[in-house]
């Protein structure tokens, strides 16, 4: 129906991967515009290959397009080369399916997954020729709505969005779209629509809230400016994750994307309660999908896409109670069709290794452990629930099974970390290498050695975690910690078997500023974008100097947002959001962390986090005794 393209052949021939911009992929949805009441552009503010791999957008795309009066299309950040051409030739940003300009749509929905994509949001608005600040948008512009994990502290983006949808997208969109249609029909206008939208559960409309600050820069008050606007926004959550929307016909890209496979989400939430992990708190309580439904979905999606790989998605796949049954089914069905099975987020135990040996080509694959900290003391602080004994036992089983490459993930800069904890990273790597040499006889060693890749990222405290009050290290402290790690590894007996990688310190500090920032950062983000910064998540385009200079120009300091420890009495920028986990629970966990005490996982003992009020999931299941 829509054969026109927004870009000429001449432009498409000039840019890298023109397939990013032409639409027409298998399973993309095209509707008759004349029969549509609401047009919704769904945006991932990063390059096509990353955006196309995002499950949340696939779910919402499927959900919207299942409704007769709505047409949902997709849009991603144009890559640097096309961005330049669109500005020079004044080409407005367009949706893939119809190739129509985004500015002509009713809604622009932007998923906000990562702080370092904030300037790309401004790139999207700018290229779409939509005023960047919501206050400057008239009746003719789309309603700009944000969703995703970063909306749990939406304040650094408050000036740019009309609405933030807090929580899981399956529950309230129909109500919002019906309200929009009603307001449009009665001609009440944009502001009145937003005023009414602010009263729908889960909707946060920043223009109806005012923030005041103390002289030291901390928040004095955060209050609604009108009667009837809620002072607290409670997250939206789907309690029945089986009987809900799921894309049976995901769009199949023309080019290779980051997750080039069918994604089967087996559960939501996590029982583990790691104190650094934001997702583990936000998506409580754990809700499992019915195994028979998952089997049916898997087969249908594989048939509808032609993908040659299926991946099980969850925060901790090992904790899904029906995992053995699901895996057995997939192994049997997928082996007939030569389809690979990808199993991220597994704990390394006998069951997992047995499964991996059945589904992977052992010679090619590496095993991944995420101890997060080098010492048991620090693993207790972060409530990792993993002992050195379990790690080494898993390594022994893996080496017996033929694996010779192990990836280990750690964090540097965790609260209470000491030099001894850092040294523990090197020592744990060394012990794993020694385990290989003890376990595998010389004559059975493929290539004669083990390869251990240790990677460290720098700890960034996030909202709604027990560490939301914790200080973050400075750039220099981070670099010093990476240096200490490298030095400690070089002193180990098995150092030749260990390779060490570390993350950039600059970007981690900025991520910390944006993660726990307030409304005053809107000006910083806008100014730094005007200086040419976007694609900050890509190290080759990240300009730390411009960011630091702009923060200073705006009279703010990185240390205020990152390096100071917050009092548990301080009003935090995100305190108006109720994510289901109470502040009292987070405070208790923060105190337990300081005392190096662990909390048992949700299956073993309820910790009283507050998520039971949603009336379902693991909160209402009998406790089990876990045997490692």
Q: Mean pLDDT throughout 607-622?
A: 94
Query: Both tokens of residue 96?
Result: 């893939």
Q: Look at phi and psi of residue 187 and say left if phi exceeds 0, alpha if psi is from -120 to 50, else beta.
A: left
Q: Mean pLDDT throughout 238-242?
A: 97
Please check whether residue 560 is in contact with residue 513, taking contact to mean a CB–CB distance below 8 angstroms. Answer: no
Domain 9-234 has CATH 3.40.50.280: yes
State residue 497's pLDDT score.
95
Q: What is the pLDDT of residues 440-473, one digit of tens each?
A: 888 888 766 899 999 999 999 999 999 999 999 9
Q: What is the pLDDT of residues 520-575, one digit of tens each?
A: 999 999 999 999 999 999 999 999 999 999 999 999 999 999 999 999 999 999 99
- Does residue 627 have a pLDDT over 50? no
- Does residue 159 have a pLDDT over 50? yes
State residue 141's pLDDT score.
98
* Rg of the chain on CA atoms, in Å: 25
d(CA 336, CA 123): 46
Share of the chain above pLDDT 90, in %: 88
β-pair partners for 259: none
Q: Mean pLDDT throughout 34-61?
A: 97
Q: What is the pLDDT of residues 245-277, one digit of tens each?
A: 999 999 999 999 988 899 999 999 999 999 999
d(CA 373, CA 392): 14
Q: What is the pLDDT of residues 338-362, one digit of tens each?
A: 898 888 878 888 788 888 777 765 4
Domain 362-519 has CATH 3.30.565.10: no
State residue 413's pLDDT score.
98
State residue 161's pLDDT score.
98
State residue 319's pLDDT score.
93
Taking Cα atoms as reference points, which of 586, 556, 582, 590 lies closest to residue 156?
556
Instruction: Give the Å distances, CA to CA, from 167 to 107, 150, 281, 367.
Output: 18, 10, 12, 33
Q: Mean pLDDT throughout 585-601?
A: 98
Tell me which H or E stretch contains 12.
Answer: helix 9-14
- Per CATH, which fold does 261-360+598-628 belong to? Transcription Regulator spoIIAA (3.30.750)
* Residues 411-444: b if buried by 16+ CB within 10 A, e if exposed: bbbbbebeeebbbbbbbbbbbbbbbbbeebeeee
State residue 624's pLDDT score.
58
Per DSSP, 606 falls in state: -
CA 602 to chain centre: 22
* Residue linked to tokens 């053995």: 324
Query: Do 261-360+598-628 and 362-519 come out as alike in CATH topology?
Result: yes
- Does residue 514 have a pLDDT over 60? yes
State residue 151's pLDDT score.
98
Taking Cα atoms as reference points, which of 99, 81, 21 lies closest to residue 535?
81
> Considering Cα of 167, then 171, then 173, then 175, what sign does the dihedral take?
negative
- Give the predicted TM-score (pTM) of the model: 0.96
Sequence-separated (6 or more) residues with CB below 8 Å from residue 388: 376, 428, 431
Instruction: Give the Å distances, CA to CA, from 548 to 476, 507, 515, 524, 552.
Output: 15, 11, 16, 10, 6
State residue 345's pLDDT score.
79
- Does residue 364 have a pLDDT over 60? no
Share of the chain above pLDDT 70, in %: 97
What does the DSSP assignment read for 285-308? Answer: SPEEPPHHHHHHHHHHHHHHH--S
- Provide the residue ranges of all domains of the chain, joining segments of one domain with +: 9-234, 261-360+598-628, 362-519
Q: Mean pLDDT throughout 357-380?
A: 82
Q: Mean pLDDT throughout 322-340?
A: 92
Model confidence band, residue 2 (pLDDT cutoffs 50, 70, 90)? low
Please check whether residue 411 is in contact with residue 456, taking contact to mean a CB–CB distance below 8 angstroms. Answer: yes
- Does residue 365 have a pLDDT over 70? no
State residue 449's pLDDT score.
83
């Amino acid at each position: 129906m829509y054969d026109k393209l927004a870009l000429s052949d001449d432009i498409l021939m000039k840019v890298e991967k023109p397939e990013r911009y032409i639409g027409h992929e298998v399973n993309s949805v095209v509707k008759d515009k004349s029969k549509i009441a609401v047009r919704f552009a769904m945006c991932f503010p990063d390059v096509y290959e990353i955006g196309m791999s995002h499950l949340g957008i696939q779910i919402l795309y499927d959900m919207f397009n299942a409704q007769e009066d709505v047409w949902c299309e997709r849009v991603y950040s144009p890559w640097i080369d096309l961005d330049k051409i669109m500005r020079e030739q004044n080409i407005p940003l367009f949706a893939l399916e119809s190739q129509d300009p985004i500015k002509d749509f009713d809604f622009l929905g932007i998923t906000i997954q990562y702080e370092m994509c904030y300037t790309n949001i401004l790139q999207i608005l700018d290229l779409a020729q939509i005023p960047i600040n919501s206050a400057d948008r008239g009746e003719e512009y789309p309603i700009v709505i944000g969703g995703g994990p970063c909306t749990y502290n939406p304040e650094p983006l408050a000036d740019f969005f009309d609405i933030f949808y807090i929580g899981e997208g399956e529950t309230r969109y129909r109500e919002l779209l019906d309200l929009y249609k009603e307001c449009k029909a009665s001609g009440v206008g944009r502001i009145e629509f937003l005023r009414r939208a602010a009263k729908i559960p889960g909707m946060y409309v920043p223009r109806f809230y005012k923030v005041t600050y103390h002289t030291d820069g901390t928040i004095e008050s955060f209050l609604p400016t009108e009667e009837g606007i809620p002072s607290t926004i409670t997250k939206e959550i789907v309690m029945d994750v089986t009987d809900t929307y799921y894309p049976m016909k995901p769009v199949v890209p023309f080019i290779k994307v980051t997750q080039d496979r069918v994604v089967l989400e087996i559960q939501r939430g996590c029982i583990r309660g790691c104190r650094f992990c934001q997702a583990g708190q936000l998506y409580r309580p754990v809700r499992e999908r019915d195994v028979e439904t998952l089997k049916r979905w898997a087969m249908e999606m594989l048939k509808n896409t032609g993908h040659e790989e299926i991946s099980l998605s969850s925060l901790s796949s090992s904790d899904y109670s029906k995992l053995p049954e699901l895996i057995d089914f997939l192994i049997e069905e997928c082996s007939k069709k030569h389809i690979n099975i990808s199993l991220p987020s597994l704990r390394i135990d006998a069951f997992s290794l047995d499964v991996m040996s059945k589904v992977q080509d052992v010679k090619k694959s590496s095993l991944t452990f995420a101890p997060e900290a080098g010492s048991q003391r620090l693993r207790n602080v972060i409530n990792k629930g993993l002992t050195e004994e379990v790690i080494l036992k898993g390594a022994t089983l893996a080496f017996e099974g033929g694996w010779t490459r192990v990836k280990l993930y750690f964090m540097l800069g965790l609260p209470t970390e000491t030099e001894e904890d850092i040294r523990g990273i090197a020592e744990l790597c060394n012990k794993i290498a020694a385990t290989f040499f003890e376990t595998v006889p010389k004559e059975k060693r493929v290539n004669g050695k083990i390869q251990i890749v240790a990677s460290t990222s720098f700890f960034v405290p996030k909202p709604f975690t027990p560490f939301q009050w914790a200080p973050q290290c400075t750039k220099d402290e981070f670099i010093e910690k990476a240096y200490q790690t490298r030095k400690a590894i070089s002193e180990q007996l098995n150092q030749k078997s260990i390779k060490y990688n570390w993350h950039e310190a600059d970007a981690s500090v900025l991520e910390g500023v944006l993660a726990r920032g307030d409304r005053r950062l809107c000006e910083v983000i806008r100014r730094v974008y005007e200086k040419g910064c976007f694609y900050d998540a890509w190290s080759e385009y990240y300009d730390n100097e411009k960011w630091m200079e702009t923060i200073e120009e705006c009279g703010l300091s990185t240390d205020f947002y990152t390096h100071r420890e917050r009092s548990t009495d301080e009003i935090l920028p995100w305190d108006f959001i109720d994510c289901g986990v109470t502040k009292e629970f987070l405070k208790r966990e923060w105190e337990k962390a300081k005392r190096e005490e662990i909390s048992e996982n949700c299956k073993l003992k309820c910790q009283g986090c507050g998520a039971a009020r949603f009336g379902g999931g693991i909160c209402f299941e009998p406790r089990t005794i876990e045997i490692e």
